Amino acid sequence: MSDYRIPATRIVRRPENGGTPRRVEADIVVLGAGISGVSAALEAAKLGRKVALVDAGMQLGGQSTGSLLGTFCGFYSNGPQPYRVVYGIVDDMFAHLKREGAFHVRRGRNTFIPLYQEQALVRWIEQAVTAAGIKVVLGANLLDVQRDGGRIGGLALATRFGLVDLRGTGFIDASGDAALTYAAGFACREPEAPIMGTLMFILEGFDEDAAQKLDRWAVQKRLGEAGGRYGLVRRDGFVFAFPGKGQATVNMTHVETPLDPLGYARAQAEGRAQADRVVAFLRGEYPEVFGLARVRQYGLLGIRQTRWIVGRHSLGIDEVRQGIRPDDAVVRCAWPVELHDRAEDVHWEEFGDDHMHYVPFGSMVPEQADNLVAAGRCIDGDPAALSSVRVMGPCIAMGAAAAQALDLAGAGSVRQIDIRALQKRLADNLERCDRD
């Protein structure tokens, strides 16, 4: 008989009034812990602010870690010798990924596109957020927003472990779907026709050397010709292998992502079914490369553009195409227009070597809001303009801009901050041109 004691138990019952919500206080509250929210939270903490970071998911990083995106887009300018256009958290993040052997830069779309491994990124985010003393609430859904005119006072959250009453001075909507702005009753914008999402997945068991030699445009052509036989909805997309890891990320599905409580699960299952058909296509059409390939991991369904704020300014496609630098520019970016507005393919519009476009601060502030700033894929723009600034590079820069703006506003309004002072704080992201 082994020598052990059965642990004691006690009886518990939910209090009649449901229990008192756990009260949490912060200077800056960030809703959404995707790459925009993480950037905003770390930037605010660096400014000495008390920060709370909230997410409905059970891990940090949002789509950057959960949806297996695999590449960092919008971090560099265009041309033969691209320079970096985003700083802030990027130096530490890249250094960590390099140390972990989880970072590899490739050329594509007239710029640099670094590949990264999600597990290394999620660890960096956790370590950075912990070291910064940020209070993190995971698995937390937004139930209600306390709003008085243009000011938000607090958020009511529900977690599986109980309710949270989160109070703050400044708020950042980094939810991707403008969840905070919408719940606060500010106007939001939705596209009339859906912008497609994608379920990404990671393959293993294929011939890595042979995969490196595959011509991606020839694969696209084959998708167009033979995809129908495999029941594929989308007829473009790509497979990119992380060198030496025996893994490749596949971006070849298109699924609608409705803002509907039952819709997400349905769409995710549809995305996985499409992913399986993509594997059948790769095995069937390229048996010498993918004959033994299998899915190692399905990502969580990736959502591109669903609902976003109505800001003081809606970024337009002509401003993007012409590279207009507005007086209140806070972010720069050279990434193409990448509009997923139909099931069968993607509309790409690449820009020349000297091109740069900008996100104005006015596109990040909901009309009438005093202490709420949006960052990431839910800022205001037309669908095409938004598609060019919602990749991770500009998302990180928007997170930094939102934190700096709320820090400048203090107990006042972001509508009255000195934009020149804000731009001075964001000078790296607007002016610096390091060639890594």
274 interacts with ligand FAD by CB under 6 A = no
Q: Which is nearer to ligand FAD, 385 or 392 (CB)?
A: 392
Instruction: Please state the closest distance from residue 268 (CB atom) to ligand FAD, in A.
Output: 12
Map the footprint of ligand FAD across residues 72-111, applying CB under 6 A. 72-74
198 interacts with ligand FAD by CB under 6 A = yes
Instruction: Please state the closest distance from residue 50 (CB atom) to ligand FAD, in A.
Output: 20
Three-class SS state of 272:
helix
Task: Output the six-digit token pair for 61.
Answer: 């990083």
154 interacts with ligand FAD by CB under 6 A = no
Q: How many CB atoms lie within 10 A of CB 95?
A: 12
In a 10 Å sphere around its CB, with 0-12 CB exposed, 13-18 middle and 19+ buried, how is residue 427 labelled? exposed
Of 8-16, 67-75, 94-102, 217-225, the segment contacting ligand FAD by CB under 6 A is 67-75
Please select the residue that binds ligand FAD; options are 27, 43, 55, 328, rule is CB under 6 A.
Answer: 55
57 interacts with ligand FAD by CB under 6 A = yes
For 363, which DSSP code?
G
Please select the residue that binds ligand FAD; options are 41, 69, 120, 400, rule is CB under 6 A.
Answer: 69
177 interacts with ligand FAD by CB under 6 A = yes
Instruction: Please state the closest distance from residue 10 (CB atom) to ligand FAD, in A.
Output: 32
Map the footprint of ligand FAD across residues 353-412, applying CB under 6 A. 376-377, 390-392, 395
Residue 185 CA, chain-centre distance (Å), reads: 23
Provide CB contacts within 8 A for 397, sequence distance 6+.
39, 85, 86, 88, 330, 331, 332, 333, 359, 426, 429
Task: Output the six-digit token pair for 404.
Answer: 């700096």
Map the footprint of ligand FAD across residues 297-326, applying CB under 6 A. 302-304
How many residues touch ligand FAD (CB under 6 A)?
41
Q: Which is nearer to ligand FAD, 74 or 227 (CB)?
A: 74
Q: Is the dihedral of CA 264, 270, 276, 280 positive or negative?
A: negative
Please select the residue that binds ligand FAD; options are 67, 77, 78, 429, rule is CB under 6 A.
Answer: 67
272 interacts with ligand FAD by CB under 6 A = no
279-to-11, 249, 252, 289, 296 alpha-carbon distances in Å: 51, 12, 10, 12, 11
Task: In whole angstroms, give the CA distance from residue 245 to residue 176.
Answer: 31
For 351, which DSSP code?
-
Q: Give the strands of the sheet with 151-159, arranged side by side.
A: 22-25, 162-167, 151-159, 141-148
Please select the residue that binds ligand FAD; options are 51, 52, 152, 174, rule is CB under 6 A.
Answer: 174
Residues at the interface with ligand FAD (CB under 6 A): 31-37, 54-57, 62-64, 67, 69-74, 140-142, 174-177, 179, 197-198, 200, 302-304, 376-377, 390-392, 395
